Structure 1
Amino acid sequence: MPRPAGRRTAAVVAAVAVTAGLASACTSDEGEQVPTIGYAIAGDVPTYNPATSTGRWSGALAGLSRVLPGFSYTDPSGSVVADTDIGKAAPVPGDALAVTYSFAESAVWSDGVPMTCDDLVLTWIAHSGRAPEFDVASTAGYRDVDRIDCAPGDKTATVIFGQGRSVADWKSLFGAGEVLPAHVAGAAAGVDDTTAALVDGDADATARIADFWNTGWTLTPGEPVDAARFVASGPYRLEAVDESGVLELVPNDAWWGNRPRTERIEVYPRSADVAALTADGDVEIVDAVGTRSGDLPDGFALTDVVSPAVEQLVLGGGLDDPALRRAFASCVPRDALFAEHGSPGTGAPPASGPGSGVADARFTPRNSLVYGQVAGVADGRYRAGDSAAAADALSGAGSDGATVRIGYRAPDDRRAAVVARIAAACAPAGIVVEDASSPDFTPAALADGAVDAVLGAEGGAQGAAGSQPATRRLQALRSGERANIGGFSSVRYDELVDQLATAASSSARLGLATDAERILWDELPTLPLFDQFRTVAIADGTEAATPNPTETGTGWNMDRWVFRR
């Protein structure tokens, strides 16, 4: 069924004529290639830096993964795949883990400045925790790097890990959204040699670089995008952010790989009216958390995919006492929440594997061979929603009532329904559950004490989330991590996380993961609900768009997309 033409239709014929030599040829039977594809994501993009805490909680990586690629990306299976357009990474034989990273000779930023090992040093220092001024969401993997051998300006560097810190997940380091331009940060901070300043520990210079890294790439809707500041390393570059927060992506003329097949991608934030945009023909791909795509017109193929992320309640605020957390968890009906909201509703959930039931493990994938044993430490706790048990637990904690404010990014019909269901189940126990959502909500509200729980993925992420390697998910509850928004702290859990990062054998990982989950079920810094699923809608006539349920989102290969009308 033909889809209605939107505001871009008048430009189609002229633009196709201009780009005929750049895009795939098409016949009249195939239809005319539309020069712009609209892509709606499940988050906003408030920053160009996906690695900050703000970026991690948002849709920054989903919107910018082909603007800021790295040495690897996450494919639709959740696996980490080498991105050889950027360069190559190769382990070096020796007692300690060492990896040589070599940028492609042609690799340059969109301003023509070569990509060099200085960019890797900035990434390492920013992510390592060595300079706490950097507002990085996670130090996973980078905290284990001992040094980087980098001669400023070289295209090759050797990353050397600490003795005994052979991180199993090293291939995900320096990935998409993590490698940012050191020369831009240095110029803004007034530092000529960023590598020397960062490695030598120049406190003043490091503070200035960190200040820019944290906030200098903030995206403000309606403000012009400075091409000298927002430089790109991928097939697309950011041209503009309109008043509604829509990103305008265009081909990066300095890109050395295959030219993007479509001349413009418009990335729409979660606040966009997707029903209206699809009806008007302005959006061809919708990547939603939950079921936001329910009102789409005819002419779209819907695919429901299960994410590696776990939808959960991250607890803190007024629930800083574990006894209060256990009381609240006692009345949360996890079985009913899965049955009503934990699957797409297009049929019975699978009998096993991802999406098959209530989540009883926070960081062990359900398709792992050891999932059953690790999840078994939950021992059936907090399933049915027992208001009497919750009231008894409250009394044992010295309280006859409690109020729990649950925050999430609105509008979100599914999460609103989850909160309403929890509120109804907990009311008889004397626990008042309030919906504390708002359009400008961020998970930082939990750390600030403005809410008592965040409904989202690990670290409270509100948009696309999840990857198959567990390193980052493990670190989301490590002491001192900014992704640890509830402020959970356990010396023993930290020790287990550090051991898991380097554990090579499956038997060692089983024991460590089981011990870690046992601590989390006893202390309850989070309450896992179910595997997060996403509904991806793709318009008929779209080529090469493949749903990706991970943190990268379906835009992981947007430079290959074509839409014909």
Structure 2
Amino acid sequence: MRIRRFAAAAATVAAGALVLSGCAAPQSEIVEGSSLSVAWNQPFYSYNGNTSFGNATANNNITYATLGGFNYYNDVPELVKDTSFGTYELVSEDPLVVKYTIADGVKWSDGTAVDAADLLLQWAALSRALDTPDFDASEFTDPDTGEFTDDFPTDVVYFDSGADPSVGLGLVSTTPEVSDDKKSITMTYDEPFVDWELQLTSPLPAHVVAKNALGIEDNQEAKDAIYDAIENDDAEALAAISSFWNSGFNFTEMPDNTDLVLASGPYMITDFVADQYVTLTANPEYTGDNLPKVEEITVRFITDPLAAVQALQNGEVQLISPQATADVAEALAALDVTVIGGYEGTYEHIDLQFDQSKSGHFNNPLIREAFMKVIPRQEIVDKLIKPLQEDAEVRNSQVFLPGAEGYDESVAENGSEAYAEVDIEGAKALLAEAGVTNPEVCMLFSSTNPRRANEFLLIQQSAAQAGFNVTDCSSPDWGGLLGTPGAYDASLFGWQSTSLGVTNGPPPTYTTGGINNLNFYSNPEMDELTAALGKEFDPDAQIEIMKQIDKILWDDFYGVTIFQFPAVTAYDQNAITNISPSTLAPTIFWNIWDWEPVSADAE
């Protein structure tokens, strides 16, 4: 076993931490006939990672390779501009005006040009500026699947992106200006926003949305229909467009309509077998800087970490990045593979439902506080994490990465110390004050994740001593259920950092209605702070705001943080090279175009 290590980068809240690079990747040639396989621990289920249902690492790993964008993070991590896809420029600071332009020759894999129609639709979806006011979609969500029901009204405009009018593209309330050549859009923000460079993410094909939503056959007519609907605020057309944008790209096997997997990036989906694998093939229409070297990459879904190790040993896959356990580390040590360890930019935590819990118990803050007191955080770290990382510690902040500037100061003030040790008697007293006995807590987590199953058992045993009845609500489809009203009471999962932007975490997660606000948390003071964070350009002031956010979350009994993920990536160095995991999502996939087969028949 060859061992390399990487450590999680110390998170920063400084706007200046975004390192811009205009360096283009070297041009490469595909190794004809080459194929490689990689294992991931959860099946793909949605091509739209910008919805509350589809926003999951398992989906975004795939779309990262298939949907082009204006920038991405490398493994330093630094923000890299991909000028071969397009450019953006700061036209004005006051007001904040940003112009996006698609580069010449950029096409979808059906040969249709990527242009302003795609960007304009992305703005409409990620700003929600055209949504029907005051519409609540929660009552139209299926508690068993997390998807919208057939009863969802057809006469409302609702883009399920979780956008908020106080942050990000929510601050672009005026329809962007489209250039005469239909290559650019210019957006004017209502107020300054510190992370403006990270807002217009990789767009979906607008012509595909319009063709399916409006029954149009011609690609150009479909693009024109997008312009007309948005620029004229056509509620009837936008209702159909938003409905398809929300749900039309959800599928668990290769769709009959292959327009749904059109690509603008280096790879395209060419096969998808439910619960088994997705096949990515080099996109023949792609002419950008990140030209791939491997002709075909198969992403196999292997939920059991030890099964992933076995697949690597058997040569079924050449690259794995399973959830690290002591058994995984021991099994890898016996193989002739290269292992990269360290910490990830992901942390384990438990969120408590506020307004839509299954039992209704957690509507009462006394019961939330009592449950937080019985979660054996230190025991979980000692038994499950320290065998992998001897220096592992309990994470005590909801917003700061351990080791980052502001972490120690925030931990000293945020109130997490009250949950440093299990307090059974304190929990019993709170339950008595609340007037409840043996409250049931339905806990959602991944049913295919051994480490989470072990965590659940430790929590269940500890909580029982105080009178809680913690029940197993695990599911293989846990990701799609996270934002589903009434599906559970508490959730156990990991948040993975996707950028160094100061607004990457708090606004979408803790703002009322944010895309990552999956437990229906709402606090007006929090909304004010998350809005203020996006408008604050002073790094020291940003830290102070984040410290306030951290304290409010603990004061509100939001839930608990547990540990920073230990990382393990292993690959067959005799079959694949240029593997360099990043601490940020999409971790191992960030440079998928650089992966190179050692031999053309490696598989």
Question: What is the TM-score of this pair, normalised by structure 1?
Answer: 0.86
Match of 1:422 in 2: 459
Deviation, 1:180, is 0.9
Q: Check the 8 A contact 1:286/1:293 in 2, yes or no.
A: no
Q: Check the 8 A contact 1:409/1:441 in 2, yes or no.
A: yes
Q: Check the 8 A contact 1:110/1:233 in 2, yes or no.
A: yes
Match of 1:514 in 2: 547
Matched, 1:74 2:73: yes
Q: Structure 2 CA distance, aligned partners of 1:496 and 1:22?
A: 49
Matched, 1:102 2:86: no
Matched, 1:287 2:321: yes
Match of 2:285 in 1: 254
Match of 2:218 in 1: none
Matched, 1:363 2:399: yes
Match of 1:141 in 2: 168
Which whole-Å deviations, capped at 9, do the CAs of 1:266-313 have from their partners, x for residues lacking one? Answer: 012243742443233121111223438454561322222423332110
Match of 1:158 in 2: 186
Q: Structure 2 CA distance, aligned partners of 1:138 and 1:376?
A: 32
Q: Provide the secondary structure at the position in 1 that maps to 2:505.
A: helix
* Residue 270 to residue 72, structure 1, CA distance change in 2 (3 Å): farther
Q: Provide the secondary structure at the position in 1 that maps to 2:53.
A: helix
Deviation, 1:446, is 5.8
Matched, 1:267 2:266: no
Q: Check the 8 A contact 2:54/2:250 in 1, yes or no.
A: no
Match of 2:529 in 1: 496
Give, as a single letter, the amino acid of the residue that structure 2 aligns with 1:209: I
Which of 313, 327, 337 is the aligned partner of 2:370?
A: 327
Which whole-Å deviations, capped at 9, do the CAs of 1:420-448 have from their partners, x for residues lacking one? Answer: 11112222111122232122223535633
Deviation, 1:193, is 2.3
Q: Provide the secondary structure at the position in 1 that maps to 2:402.
A: coil
Q: Check the 8 A contact 1:73/1:172 in 2, yes or no.
A: no
Structure 2 spans left out of the alignment, 5+ residues? 2-27, 132-156, 215-221
Match of 1:183 in 2: 207
Match of 2:561 in 1: 528
Deviation, 1:194, is 0.7
Q: Check the 8 A contact 1:44/1:58 in 2, yes or no.
A: no
* Residue 107 to residue 224, structure 1, CA distance change in 2 (3 Å): same
Give, as a single letter, the amino acid of the residue that structure 2 aligns with 1:230: V
Match of 1:196 in 2: 228
Q: Structure 1 CA distance, aligned partners of 2:373 and 2:188?
A: 46
* Residue 42 to residue 76, structure 1, CA distance change in 2 (3 Å): farther
Q: Check the 8 A contact 1:465/1:552 in 2, yes or no.
A: no
Q: Check the 8 A contact 1:37/1:563 in 2, yes or no.
A: yes
Q: Structure 2 CA distance, aligned partners of 1:244 and 1:193?
A: 36
Deviation, 1:156, is 1.8
Q: Calculate percent identity across the aligned residue pairs.
A: 25
Which whole-Å deviations, capped at 9, do the CAs of 1:201-231 have from their partners, x for residues lacking one? Answer: 211111111121112222232x455443321
Q: Structure 2 CA distance, aligned partners of 1:420 and 1:543?
A: 39
* Residue 470 to residue 504, structure 1, CA distance change in 2 (3 Å): closer
Match of 2:41 in 1: 42
The Cα RMSD (Å) is 2.5
Give, as a single letter, the amino acid of the residue that structure 1 aligns with 2:95: A
Which whole-Å deviations, capped at 9, do the CAs of 1:221-245 have from their partners, x for residues lacking one? Answer: 2x45544332101111111102434
Match of 1:64 in 2: 63
* Residue 44 to residue 117, structure 1, CA distance change in 2 (3 Å): same
Which whole-Å deviations, capped at 9, do the CAs of 1:129-169 have from their partners, x for residues lacking one? Answer: 3326112255551112233211376212222111xx22111
Give, as a single letter, the amino acid of the residue that structure 2 aligns with 1:214: N
Matched, 1:238 2:269: yes
Q: Check the 8 A contact 2:93/2:192 in 1, yes or no.
A: no
* Residue 153 to residue 328, structure 1, CA distance change in 2 (3 Å): farther
Q: Check the 8 A contact 1:261/1:562 in 2, yes or no.
A: yes
| Stretch deviating more after TM superposition (91-100 or 248-257) | 91-100
Q: Structure 2 CA distance, aligned partners of 1:312 and 1:199?
A: 42
Deviation, 1:371, is 1.8
Which of 302, 314, 337 is the aligned partner of 2:339?
A: 302
Which whole-Å deviations, capped at 9, do the CAs of 1:164-197 have from their partners, x for residues lacking one? Answer: x22111222223xx41111111121225421331
Q: Provide the secondary structure at the position in 1 that maps to 2:160.
A: coil
- Structure 2 matches for 1:106-121, cutoff 5 A? 106-121=105-120
Match of 1:278 in 2: 312
- Structure 2 matches for 1:3-18, cutoff 5 A? none
Q: Structure 2 CA distance, aligned partners of 1:78 and 1:457?
A: 20
Which of 373, 378, 381 is the aligned partner of 1:338?
A: 381
Give, as a single letter, the amino acid of the residue that structure 2 aligns with 1:249: L
Q: Structure 2 CA distance, aligned partners of 1:67 and 1:531?
A: 29
Deviation, 1:40, is 1.4
Q: Provide the secondary structure at the position in 2 that maps to 1:438.
A: coil
Q: Structure 2 CA distance, aligned partners of 1:431 and 1:320?
A: 16
Give, as a single letter, the amino acid of the residue that structure 1 aligns with 2:271: A
Which of 470, 477, 494 is the aligned partner of 1:457?
A: 494
Match of 2:419 in 1: 382
Which whole-Å deviations, capped at 9, do the CAs of 1:460-504 have from their partners, x for residues lacking one? Answer: xxxx55433242321212112242111111011000000001111
Q: Provide the secondary structure at the position in 1 that maps to 2:298.
A: strand
Q: Provide the secondary structure at the position in 1 that maps to 2:65.
A: coil
Q: Structure 2 CA distance, aligned partners of 1:340 and 1:66?
A: 37
Give, as a single letter, the amino acid of the residue that structure 1 aligns with 2:450: D
Q: Provide the secondary structure at the position in 2 that maps to 1:237.
A: strand
Q: Structure 2 CA distance, aligned partners of 1:437 and 1:361?
A: 26
Which of 575, 578, 596 is the aligned partner of 1:544?
A: 578
Q: Structure 1 CA distance, aligned partners of 2:347 and 2:284?
A: 39
Q: Structure 2 CA distance, aligned partners of 1:77 and 1:418?
A: 32
Q: Provide the secondary structure at the position in 2 that maps to 1:471.
A: coil
* Residue 244 to residue 518, structure 1, CA distance change in 2 (3 Å): closer
Q: Structure 2 CA distance, aligned partners of 1:233 and 1:265?
A: 17
Q: Provide the secondary structure at the position in 2 that maps to 1:281.
A: coil
Q: Structure 2 CA distance, aligned partners of 1:340 and 1:245?
A: 32
Which whole-Å deviations, capped at 9, do the CAs of 1:37-93 have from their partners, x for residues lacking one? Answer: 111123321011111222213511112212113112133345433222211112113
Q: Check the 8 A contact 2:366/2:434 in 1, yes or no.
A: yes
Q: Structure 1 CA distance, aligned partners of 2:40 and 2:480?
A: 18
Give, as a single letter, the amino acid of the residue that structure 2 aligns with 1:498: A
* Residue 138 to residue 550, structure 1, CA distance change in 2 (3 Å): farther
* Residue 505 to residue 412, structure 1, CA distance change in 2 (3 Å): same
Which of 193, 205, 209 is the aligned partner of 2:237?
A: 205
Matched, 1:228 2:259: yes
Q: Check the 8 A contact 1:312/1:457 in 2, yes or no.
A: yes
Q: Structure 2 CA distance, aligned partners of 1:167 and 1:160?
A: 11
Q: Provide the secondary structure at the position in 2 that maps to 1:193.
A: helix
- Number of matched pairs: 522
